[in-house]
Amino acid sequence: MIEVRKPQAKPARPFFSSGPCAKPPGWSPQKIATESLGRSHRAKIGKARLALCIDLMREMLRLPDTHRIGIVPGSDTGAFEMAMWTMLGARPVTALAWESFGEGWITDAAKQLKLDPTVVRADYGQLPDLNQVDWSNDVLFTWNGTTSGVRVPDGDWIADDRQGLCFADATSAVFAYDLPWDKIDVATFSWQKVLGGEGAHGVLILGPRAVERLESHTPAWPLPKVFRLTKGGKLTEGVFKGETINTPSMLAVEDAIFALEWAKALGGLDGLKARSDANAAALDAIVADRDWLSHLAADPASRSKTSVCLSVAGADADFIKKFAGLLEAEGAAYDIAGYRDAPPGLRIWCGATVDTADIEALGPWLDWAYAELSA
């Protein structure tokens, strides 16, 4: 083994966690607006700031007026479960999984809601045959697999004439790709991913077919208060105007507004996509130069550009734990061990809040850690 000296230069911001992710460049607590803090979210200022957050998300995502945006409790998980609990049961269900969170939706549909879903699976690093999906069913899937580094390449496989609803857990996809909103009936995400915002709150996006389902279908199971989106058979429109179901953290809302205004200054969605693309390309170059490092997602067409999962030759879980620990101790990279349920490997966030120079600076540190543990 050739000796690899410890690099001198470190990433300026070694925050490569896949959630919560790096804060936007230039962020500091002092830059967060404070006028709404300590005020009721139902006061005039609270409603105005929540509405601004929704309006900025619509603008950044280029979301059509046909789709509603609501801020809901429980991060992306809460938003997706809210959609499942309130809308499923009207039609058969197909659930797709190629990573941990997709498996979670299968568990919810099968064991909690007792819906006996059709299950379509693929191993970590792979996509199933999407053409086998029956769109007479409601379909649940993860657009960008945060724990596997696998994404659907586009929305072409989603039927235009679908009878069922398309439920997309899009938490590591929004603000990183162009999403075909005409194909998506329900989408969920959390600010903590591509925006680098805070956790705890989720975002629920509903297309017109999802609203129709909510107003025409009564679930067979009881609904907790925080899941209820209708009253008297009609959509509770206030939820999609900033009148949240439960008390939100206005600090988290203000933090999200900061990130959205930062994104707007970059050029909006195009600017965010360009940063993610550049980061993913920089990491691709690092992987291509090392025979001991490879992508878990072998097919570039279905490889995530945000949560990038890597395989390390000969590594087991203990090796990866030590590898990530070495880099954390040096302040060179934080939180890059793969997800606990995934095959042992590294996971490096390449979303828009990461600087490409920091991805490039990471390469020599990966070499050093690998050499230290392989000696």
pLDDT, the chain, mean = 97
Position 31 scores a pLDDT of 97
DSSP string, 278-325: HHHHHHHHHHHT-TTEEESS--GGGB-SSEEEEEETT--HHHHHHHHH
Residue 202's nearest CA partner among 164, 248, 156 is 248
- The first and second tokens of residue 248, run together, are 């939100």
- pLDDT for 1 beyond 60: no
Domain 32-264 and domain 268-374, same fold? Reply is: no
135-172 per-position pLDDT tens digit: 999 999 999 999 999 999 999 999 999 999 999 999 99
* Higher-confidence position of 1 and 286: 286
pTM: predicted TM-score of the whole model, two decimal places: 0.97
Kindly state the average pLDDT of the residues 237-250: 95
- Phi/psi region, residue 149 (left: phi>0; alpha: psi -120 to 50; beta: rest), is left
| 32-264 carries CATH number 3.40.640.10 | yes
Cβ-contact 160, 183 below 8 angstroms: yes
Kindly state the average pLDDT of the residues 255-261: 98
Position 4 scores a pLDDT of 86
271-304 per-position pLDDT tens digit: 999 999 999 999 999 999 999 999 999 999 999 9
- pLDDT for 49 beyond 90: yes
For 268-374, the fitting CATH number among 1.10.760.10, 3.40.50.300, 3.30.930.10, 3.90.1150.10 is: 3.90.1150.10
Q: How do the domains of the chain map onto residue ranges?
A: 32-264, 268-374
Could you give the percent of the chain with pLDDT greater than 90?
98
- pLDDT for 236 beyond 70: yes
Position 84 scores a pLDDT of 98
